[in-house]
Structure 1
Amino acid sequence: MQTMQRKIHPKANRRQPGQQERAPLFIVVDLFCGAGGDATGFNNAGGLALVIACVNHDAVAIRSHRRNHPYAAHYSEDARTFDIRKLKTHVDKYRLIYPHAKLILWISADCTHYSDAAGGKPRDPDSRSMPEILHKVYDPLTKTYQPGDSYLQILQPDYVQMENVEEFMAWGPLDKKGRPIRRRNGEDWLRWRKEICALGYRDQWRKLCAADYGAHTHRTRLFGIFARPGLPIVFPQATHSEMPTNGGLFGDLLPWKPVREILNLSDTGPSIFSRKKPLCENTLRRMIVGVKKTVALNEDQFFSLYYSGGGTYASLSRPSPVVPTRDRISLVTLVRPQHTHTIYNPSWGGHFVGVGRPCPVVMARQDKAPLHLISMTASRPLLTYPTDSPATAELKELMRRYGITDIKWRLLSIPELLAIQGFPRDYQLTGGRTRQTKHIGNAVVPVVITRWTQALAAAVLQLAA
């Protein structure tokens, strides 16, 4: 496997304009680093944290990560079989440079085989057991974990932080068909926590919604932290809320950010009726649901969703739903009849003036020759054909009822998906659209990591004061 290490760069942390240079309070090792959501969050914390090493088995993800975070050491390796001694040598160099910094080991293990989004499909026990790498040694022949010196024993981090789906708390044994044994849900999660705490840690867990911290998505995930004795454990305070407050119990909370703020709504895409390949019945029925809800809100654009776990519609006035790892969100635009307005002045033989110009003189003869406002509507007829599918016919009838002349549809662009997830729009991803979408959907929302790092830093500084 390829390993790429960069020269030590003690000033690699990003600082805000005008901020004085300071040593980071945290140095970070990122396991299962993906394309860089974690690193972006840490590095956006105003110089409080410095990501020094990243490990991931996906070479394409590592290339993306390296483009955006060039000063970290990048290891294109399977974290389960990686030679941790190489990582320790690198960490020890930074510990000499920043002797007072706390070492954070961040882990974003695969969530697929915990998530309810997998439906009734069998789970992969090998993927479900990945968190065991923290304190055990993986045997690739038997695909089992055995006691031994692993990341916690060798690196001795001060903190271990992680993010996963909420269903991670239900991690437990599988039956012979690879499906969770419901009555034993949570057994492995509780055992795993107990074994790590036995190595000298204590832990806490919270569910955090990204929209509560200013993200344009309401992605909710489980966040956990293990800390050495004497070190504080805190979680970030929300800055936004679905129900904003002014001077409430939890202080001032801003309203959730609507996703429409970061979308290119002028790009509506083509008409659904001019496609070479018609949309399938299920997509059209999801669109019917969206049209009914959208016209009730007096809006003209909405998200049409295709999630295996359900969901068909989302308003643009709220944060985006979770960005999945495949194209499952599309922008739908309802086209209303185009109205043109003109003023008709019957006086002096009659003449017309567009509403974009000053009005004609309002004469005293308004009882005899009143000014008229004339509205003209231009739209193409909406016809139903015998070849239309049942869903198409139902959609057209709905459109006629609400005066909709056309519906336009497109997938969200990569820059839009990046912005929804909290990355800069110019964040550089490698690979094709399928791979880029996967990496965005798998990424931790950076702003949550930023706020958490800032809260943890404040607690550490207060303890040291």
Structure 2
Amino acid sequence: MKIYWIDLFCGAGGTSTGIHFSKTNSTVLACVNHDVNAIASHELNHPKTIHFTEDIRDFRVVEKLKVIVDEVRKNEPNAIINLWASLECTNFSKAKGGQSRDADSRTLAEHMFMYLKAISPDYFYVENVREFMAWGSLDANGKPISKDKGKDYEKWVKRVISYQYNYDYRLFNAADFGAYQSRERLFIQFAKNDLPISWPQQTHVKENKLKKTTGLKKWKAVKEVLQLDNEGESIFNRKKNLSENTLKRIYAGLIKFVANGENSFTKRYNGGKVNPEQKVNSLNKPMGTILTKCTHAIVKSVFIKKYFSGRPMGKVISINEPAGTITTVGGQALVSASHLSTYYNNFGLHSIENPSPTITTKDRVTKIDVNFLDEQYGKGSARSIDLPAGTITTVPKFNLVKLKTTNYILNPSWGGNNSSVEKPCCTIVARQDKAPLYLVKINEEPCFLMEIENFFTTHDYIFLEDLENNTFGPHLEKSIRIKIVEFMFLYGISDIKMRMLNIEELKQIQGFPIDYKLIGTKTQQKKYIGNAVEVGQATVIVESNYNALLSKISA
């Protein structure tokens, strides 16, 4: 049995690559996209596919595709023809926030009917965001009318069904199928009345649900595809200082990952004692550890910082978890913090041991690496921590206990959360140029190496001078810059470094092979990655469809 696919809105090839990787007798027959560089990228990786650099609303494209499909059916009457449409989601997505919607973009689904009529595919697949099901009328200002929520979607579905199709849908998180990214998307199947509809079975699960489920694996850690040795640039010695919001999110990550939350930080800040047992990070917690060699037994942690609006504490994700959704706007910063293992436990943020948050088309993930010394002295022996990168041991120099590296991802995308590299990455979106993802490293030297002269503002120096002279007044407020440096002194942190996640990392988070070829500027390439369907998600859906058809034939 041979299956031919037509990939509409193909972009640089997420769906097509997923089909190519599937264990099926499938071929991507043709694809359509309006972006020249996206099609050029697709053609480099899928040279046997027929490529159309056209607007899908152009009926001439439909006519050309009909000729191709008619020829296939003439030569292979038993072949299955599948149509896949990853409709533009920008003007449906919640990431649009309170902004007005493009009414024309929201009606692209209406143009699918000329394809259904001309080609009459055996299966019609649609991929979009959850909010596509809320498609309804807009008011004069381009805002959705609440009372009409979902009405246009229901009408559209009924009209597709009228072409002799059965209908079903699923909301899938790519991390549940082994992706390095936590990316929820809506998948719709329309199948001709005599054909089966099948969906893939979940293979992975979030760690806190692992014990309740049988036969499932733990979510993949995004740290597996991060280049943690690439530390980045110090946040203190930059030509252009980081914004207040970025600094607030870095500070939030320090408190949550380094200080083990607001309560633990407050105790330490106020001089209170913390039970040593509460200072050891569990391997079962979101933030895991990786092997680090140095005389101070440093452990690294990486977090992903988000630049989107919202409370800073809610924007930190461990790299032990899936990354958040990769968007078209750069917004995730991978933060690698080398810090004391005794200070971390019960992390509620996103770890690099889990899939990344969804990758967007904008750069929004920053890697931050934090290294610092344990200030506590004692006789306690070090604990070995077995991780994919190796085992961490302590060095009994000056009775220092082992240090840990905290890895988490900063994602500035709207509504996103900072996450640990122990989890899947956040969703990748297309606009990676406005708010890139960053990697931050904190050095372990017991002295301060960063240059703070240009880091502090005039307001900061006035505050510090008044504090020193005991003339501090209520009119002055401690800035986020002072809070960060104060935190560093408290925990023996010498520096914080940060860099954007690179194209190789983003490609792998989105499921592409590292050698996948992309054309265009770095900004364009990141946009194509964020716009793509997560490759592995497409693969399992295609395989499920194929196996269901084989079962029907053999029955």
Which TM-score band applies after superposition, normalised by the shorter structure? 0.7 to 0.9
Q: 1:71 and 1:92 mapped to 2: Cα distance?
A: 18
Matches within 5 A, 1:102-113: 102-113=80-91
Within-5 A mapping of 1:13-162: 24=2, 26-83=3-60, 84-135=62-113, 150-162=114-126
Structure 2 counterparts to residues 211-230 of structure 1, below 5 A: 211-230=175-194
Alignment check: 8 A CA contact 2:446 2:493 kept:
no
d(CA) in 1 for partners of 2:52 and 2:362? 26
Aligned partner (choices 437, 448, 465) of residue 380 of structure 1: 448
| Residue identity matched to 1:278 | N
Shift in Å, 1:202: 1.4
Distance 1:228 1:197 in 2: 9
CA contact (8 A) 2:236 2:452 kept: no
Report the alpha carbon displacement of residue 381 of structure 1 after superposing the two structures with TM.
Answer: 5.8
> For 1:281, which of 236, 241, 244 is the aligned residue?
244
Q: 1:400 to 1:244 in 2, by over 3 A?
A: closer
- Pick closer, same or farther for the CA change 1:82–1:402 going to 2, 3 Å: farther
1:232-311 to structure 2, matched below 5 A, reads 232-243=196-207, 251-295=214-258, 296=260, 300-307=301-308
CA deviation map 1:291-318 (0-9, x unaligned) = 1111126763211112357752111110
One-letter amino acid of the counterpart of residue 305, structure 1: K
Shift of 1:290: 1.0
Once residues 529 and 317 of structure 2 are traced to their aligned partners in structure 1, the CA distance between those partners, rounded to angstroms, is 19
- Among candidates 471, 496, 514, match of residue 425 of structure 1: 514
Instruction: Provide the identity percentage.
Output: 42
**Residue deviations 1:100-143 (CA, integer Å, cap 9, x gap):** 221110001110000111111110000000011111xxxxxxxx
The 8 Å contact of residues 35 and 61 in structure 1, kept in 2 or not, is answered as: yes
Correspondent of 1:312 among 310, 315, 321: 315
Q: In structure 2, do the counterparts of structure 1 residues 79 and 101 end up closer, same or farther at CA, with 3 Å as the change threshold?
A: same
Go from structure 1 to structure 2 and tell me whether the alpha carbon gap of 1:402 and 1:374 turns closer, same or farther (over 3 Å shift). Answer: closer
Distance 1:309 1:424 in 2: 33
- In the alignment, the residues of structure 2 paired with residue 384 and residue 433 of structure 1 have an alpha-carbon distance, to the nearest angstrom, of 31
Identify if the C-alpha distance between structure 1 residues 93 and 338 changes in structure 2 by more than 3 Å, giving closer, same or farther: farther
Matched residue, 1:356 = none
Say which is worse superposed, 301-310 or 181-190, in terms of deviation.
301-310
State how many pairs are aligned: 396
Question: Is the CA contact 2:237–2:452 (under 8 Å) kept in the aligned structure 1?
Answer: no
Deviation of the 1:326 alpha carbon: 0.7
1:319-355 Cα distance to aligned partner (Å, 9 max, x none) = 111111111111111122499xxxxxxxxxxxxxxxx
**3-state DSSP of counterpart to 1:237:** coil
Could you report, residue by residue, the CA deviation over 1:128-179 in whole angstroms, capped at 9, with x for unpaired residues? 00011111xxxxxxxxxxxxxx100110100000110100010000000000
1:437 maps to which of 526, 529, 544: 526
**Which is worse superposed, 302-311 or 85-94?**
302-311
User: How far does the alpha carbon of each residue in 1:389-436 deviate from its partner, in whole angstroms, 9 at most, with x for none?
Assistant: 622111111222222111110000000000000000111111101111
**Aligned 8 A contact 2:369 2:497 in 1:** yes
Q: CA deviation at 1:93?
A: 2.8
Asked if the contact 2:7/2:32 (under 8 Å) is kept, the reply is yes
Residue 366 of structure 2: aligned partner: 330
Residue in structure 2 matched with residue 404 of structure 1 by the alignment: 493
Give the TM-score, by structure 2 length.
0.68
User: Which deviations, in whole Å up to 9, do the C-alpha atoms of 1:68-122 show, x marking residues without a partner?
Assistant: 1110000000000141111111122333444322111000111000011111111
CA drift of 1:245 comes to 7.8
Q: CA–CA distance in 2 between the matches of 1:49 and 1:413?
A: 32
Kindly name which structure, 1 or 2, has the bigger radius of gyration based on alpha carbons. 1
Q: Matches of 1:462 and 1:392 in 2, distance apart?
A: 63
The answer for the alignment partner of 1:146 in structure 2 is: none
Query: Could you say what the CA RMSD is over the residues aligned between the two structures, in angstroms?
Result: 2.3
Contact 2:174 2:184 in 1 (8 A): yes
CA shift digits 1:176-227 (9 cap, x unpaired): 0000001110000000000110111111111000001110001001110101
Q: In structure 2, how many angstroms separate the alpha carbons of the residues matched to 1:434 and 1:177? A: 31
1:340-395 deviations in Å (ceiling 9; x for gaps): xxxxxxxxxxxxxxxxxxxxxxxxxxxxxxxx954696433678666376221111
**CA distance, structure 1, for counterparts of residue 136 and residue 309 of structure 2:** 23
**Aligned mates of 1:326, 1:169 — CA distance in 2:** 25
- Provide the C-alpha distance between the structure 2 equivalents of 1:56 and 1:197, rounded to a whole number of angstroms: 26
Alpha-carbon distance between aligned partners in 2 of 1:72 and 1:382, rounded to the nearest angstrom:
53
Change (3 A) 1:405 1:170: same
Q: Which residue number corresponds to residue 355 of structure 1?
A: none
2:429 matches 1:452: no
Moved more, 299-308 or 415-424: 299-308
**Cα distance in 2, alignment partners of residues 220 and 151 from structure 1:** 27
Cα distance in 2 for residues equivalent to 1:67 and 1:381: 46
Residue among 160, 164, 169 paired with 1:205: 169
Matched residue type, 1:323 = I
Q: Using a 3 Å threshold, how does the CA distance of structure 1 residues 410 and 382 change in structure 2: closer, same or farther?
A: closer
Q: Which amino acid aligns with 2:304?
A: F
Q: Contact conserved, 1:335 with 1:408, CA < 8 A, in 2?
A: no
Q: 1:177 aligns with which of 141, 162, 167?
A: 141
Unmatched 5+ residue regions in structure 1?
1-22, 136-149, 340-371
Deviation string, structure 1 residues 27-61 (Cα, Å, up to 9, x no partner): 10011111100000111112432101000111111
Q: Report if the CA contact (8 A) 2:231-2:497 is conserved.
A: yes
Structure 1 residues 333 and 373: CA distance shift in structure 2, 3 A: closer
Change beyond 3 A, Cα 1:151–1:384: closer
* Contact 1:338–1:379 (CA under 8 A) maintained in structure 2: no
Please state whether the residue corresponding to 1:27 is helix, strand or coil: strand
Q: Give me the whole-angstrom Cα distance separating, in 1, the residues matched to 2:541 and 2:550.
A: 14
Q: Identify the residue that residue 154 of structure 2 maps to in structure 1.
A: 190
Who is 2:553 aligned against?
Answer: 464
Q: Gaps (5+ residues) in structure 2?
A: 261-280, 282-286, 288-299, 323-355, 376-395, 401-444, 461-478
- C-alpha distance 159-110 of structure 1, shift in aligned 2 (>3 A): same
Secondary structure, in 3 states, of the residue corresponding to 1:323? strand
